[in-house]
Amino acid sequence: MTTPIDDRSFTAAQDFLLGMKSWWTRDLYPTLQEDFDRRAAKAGSEPTTVDDVDALIGDTVLYRTYSWLERHLQRFKYSGRYGLQPFHDQDRERLVDGLATEGLPEGALDLADDFDVPKYFRVVDIHQHPGGVWSDEIAGYVYERGARSTTPLAGKRHKDLHDRLTDRVEAGGVPRRLLDMGCGFGKSTGPFIERFRDADIVGVDIAAPCLKLAARDAAAAQARHARYVQADCTKTDFEDESFDLVTSTMLLHEMPPPEIEKTFREAHRLLEPGGRMVHVDFYDLPDPFRRYIHYGHARRNNEPYMEPWAEMDAVELLEETGFTNIEILPFEESDGTLAADYPYWRFPWTLIMAERA
């Protein structure tokens, strides 16, 4: 029998992993960047492709150490002796009881019978989450706890990102009917729910364990203007022109290109004329070093669709789908992160915005 994991040991182990990840972010990454710059200067020709970057640093002990830590710190975080999965697993019964849907207000949660999770999502444990965010009843809890340290410098302030997105959305006008695609356990929908009290807000996701958590939290916050629906965002049952705003946060990079195309088409169908679409995702990669680092991250973190998405011509696709006023901009997820001399590792956060003509 495995010895139970007590709270103190779990917290200490997770704090240690987060400390290592912060060191990786603040020290190892800048050292790697310096090493790359030095090697590029010595080579005498400007690297322009990820292959050029690979030729310069791919075989170095520094890059290999950086890569090993990136993969395995995440693996330990989820599956190690003190990982999120075994820790939550030992408390399964109580956690599942906490997701009982009987007490929810009518319409707060709409789960499909026999929902068909798309194959592209079933075949890989995205971000090394064992079984993904959809297959285990307690996956929502595991994902929620894991998301607190997704961006190591932000720590508990990771919420910053979603609040900033809400500010950005509000600057374009207060929505009346908002759809948050790929809402997960409601972290991206929550700030919209808090800020836009007069709007009808719907979060959709394919992962029932996450939706249950989202609906429970919305009910606890007395948010009667919000509801969560299990649906594939490429083919929902909502009527044409049901929304004036469609959003997503960190959804697109989890889908293969044909699904992204369908998602944009579905958003176009669901928006009323003049309606807006605002996505935040990883897309803006202005130089080959950052592209190389991002594509490596994708491989090491089990994110097979990240690279194909970053290679897509989003402007062309959005134009073809019938959108206008297309804007693709780097997104400042925390103060100062877009400064040219910002030294630390970060995701290539990007705003993808467009309007239905």
Q: Please enumerate in sequence order all residues whose Cβ is within 8 A of that of 14, keeping only pairs 6 or more positions apart, or say none.
A: 77, 82, 84, 149
The answer to whether 118 contacts ligand SAM (rule: CB under 6 A) is yes
With 0-12 / 13-18 / 19 or more C-beta atoms within 10 angstroms meaning exposed / middle / buried, residue 218 is buried
The answer to whether 146 contacts ligand SAM (rule: CB under 6 A) is no
Among 207, 226, 298, 351, binds ligand SAM (CB under 6 A): 207
Nearest CB to ligand SAM, comparing residues 32 and 278: 278
Nearest CB to ligand SAM, comparing residues 86 and 182: 182
Nearest CB to ligand SAM, comparing residues 13 and 263: 263
Which listed range, 94-102, 201-209, 290-298, 308-316, lies at the site for ligand SAM (CB under 6 A)?
201-209
Residues paired with residue 229 on neighbouring β-strands, in sequence order: 110, 204
Nearest CB to ligand SAM, comparing residues 4 and 155: 155
For helices 257-270 and 314-321, what crossing angle results, to 10°? 40
Structure tokens at 214: 């989202």
Helix, strand, or coil here: 319?
A: helix
For residue 288, the minimal CB distance to ligand SAM (Å) is 26
The answer to whether 229 contacts ligand SAM (rule: CB under 6 A) is no
**73 and 27 Cβ atoms separated by less than 8 Å:** no
What is the C-alpha separation between 246 and 204, in angstroms, rounded? Answer: 11
What is the C-alpha separation between 215 and 321, in angstroms, rounded? Answer: 32
Give 300's DSSP letter.
H
Interface with ligand SAM (CB under 6 A), residue total 24
Task: Provide the edge-to-edge strand list for the sheet that holds 226-230.
Answer: 109-110, 226-230, 200-205, 177-181, 243-249, 271-282, 349-356, 323-330
Using CB under 6 A as the binding rule, the residues of this chain from 16 to 35 that contact ligand SAM are none
Structure tokens at 57: 């640093």
Nearest CB to ligand SAM, comparing residues 187 and 276: 187
Nearest CB to ligand SAM, comparing residues 132 and 296: 132
The answer to whether 202 contacts ligand SAM (rule: CB under 6 A) is no
The answer to whether 232 contacts ligand SAM (rule: CB under 6 A) is yes
The answer to whether 322 contacts ligand SAM (rule: CB under 6 A) is no
**The residue to which tokens 């939706």 are assigned:** 211
The answer to whether 210 contacts ligand SAM (rule: CB under 6 A) is yes
Among 255, 267, 293, 306, binds ligand SAM (CB under 6 A): 255
The answer to whether 252 contacts ligand SAM (rule: CB under 6 A) is no
**The residue to which tokens 């002796």 are assigned:** 81
Nearest CB to ligand SAM, comparing residues 232 and 244: 232
State the pairing for strand pair 243-249/177-181.
parallel
Binding residues for ligand SAM (CB under 6 A): 118, 121, 133-134, 147, 181-184, 187-188, 204-207, 210, 232-234, 249-251, 254-255
